Amino acid sequence: MLLLGIDIGTSSVKVCVVDAESQAIVASASYPDQESPITSLQSGWAEQSPEMWWQQTRQALTLCHKKGGYDPKNISAIGIAYQMHGLVLVDKDQKILRDSIIWCDSRAVEIGDKAFADIGTEKCLTHMLNSPGNFTASKLAWVKKNEPDIYAQIDKIMLPGDYIAMKLTGEITTSASALSEGVFFDFQNNGLSKDIIRHFNFSEKLFPPVMPVFSEHGRITTNVAALLGLTAGIPVTYKAGDQPNNALSLNVLKPGEVAATAGTSGVIYGVSGELTYDVQSRVNTFAHVNYTNERKRLGVLLCINGTGSLYRWIKNTFGASLSYAEMNAMAEQAPMGCNGLRIMPFGNGAERMLNNKQIGAHLHNIDLNLHTAAHVFRAAQEGIACAFRYGLDIMRENGMHPTVIRAGKSNMFLSDLFAQTFVNATGVPVELYNNDGSLGAALGAGIGAGIYPSQAEAFNKAERVGYIEPTDIEKFEPIYQDWKEILENHLQRKQEDKDQKVETFNNQ
Q: How confident is the model at residue 508 (pLDDT cuts 50, 70, 90)?
A: low
Q: Tell me which residue of 158, 148, 147, 145 sits closest to 184, measured CA to CA.
A: 158
Alpha helices in 398-472 (DSSP H): 416-426, 437-448
Q: Return the axis-axis angle of helices 242-249 and 437-448, rounded to nearest 10°.
A: 80
The radius of gyration of the chain's CA atoms, rounded to the nearest angstrom, is 22
Q: How confident is the model at residue 507 (pLDDT cuts 50, 70, 90)?
A: confident
CA dist list (Å): 239 to 84, 174, 214, 381 = 11, 9, 7, 32
| Model confidence at 436: pLDDT above 90 | no
Alpha helices in 202-294 (DSSP H): 222-228, 242-249
Is the separation of the CB atoms in 300 and 269 below 8 Å?
yes
pLDDT of residue 35: 87
Per cent of the chain over pLDDT 70 is: 99
Alpha helices in 155-300 (DSSP H): 160-169, 176-181, 194-200, 222-228, 242-249
Question: In degrees to the nearest 10, what's the CA dihedral of 277, 143, 355, 428?
Answer: 60
Task: Quick: pLDDT tens for 371-410.
Answer: 999 999 999 999 999 999 999 999 999 999 999 999 999 8
Task: Quick: pLDDT tens for 247-295.
Answer: 999 999 999 999 999 988 999 999 999 999 999 999 999 999 999 989 9
Is the separation of the CB atoms in 38 and 102 below 8 Å?
yes
Q: Return the axis-axis angle of helices 160-169 and 50-66, rounded to nearest 10°.
A: 60
pLDDT of residue 271: 97
Q: How confident is the model at residue 501 (pLDDT cuts 50, 70, 90)?
A: confident
Task: Quick: pLDDT tens for 152-187.
Answer: 999 999 999 999 999 999 999 999 999 999 999 999
Task: Quick: pLDDT tens for 447-483.
Answer: 999 999 888 899 888 889 999 999 999 999 999 999 9
pLDDT of residue 505: 65
Mean pLDDT of 236-241: 98
Task: Quick: pLDDT tens for 296-339.
Answer: 999 999 999 989 999 999 999 999 999 999 999 999 999 999 99
The string over 455-487, giving b where at least 16 C-beta atoms fall within 10 Å of a residue's C-beta and e elsewhere, is: beebbeebeeeeebebeeeeebeebbebbeebb
Question: Is residue 428 classed as helix, strand or coil in its secondary structure?
Answer: coil
pLDDT of residue 306: 87
Mean pLDDT of 345-358: 91
| Model confidence at 504: pLDDT above 80 | no
Question: Is residue 315 classed as helix, strand or coil in its secondary structure?
Answer: helix
CA dist list (Å): 326 to 25, 322, 332 = 27, 6, 10
The string over 5-32, giving b where at least 16 C-beta atoms fall within 10 Å of a residue's C-beta and e elsewhere, is: bbbbbbbbbbbbbbebeebebbbbbbbe
Residue type, position 474, single letter: E
Q: For 255, phi and psi rounded to 5 degrees?
A: -55, 135
Question: Is residue 351 classed as helix, strand or coil in its secondary structure?
Answer: strand
Per cent of the chain over pLDDT 90 is: 90
Question: Is residue 348 classed as helix, strand or coil in its secondary structure?
Answer: coil
Report how far residue 341's alpha carbon sits from residue 351's, in angstroms, rounded to the nearest whole number. 22
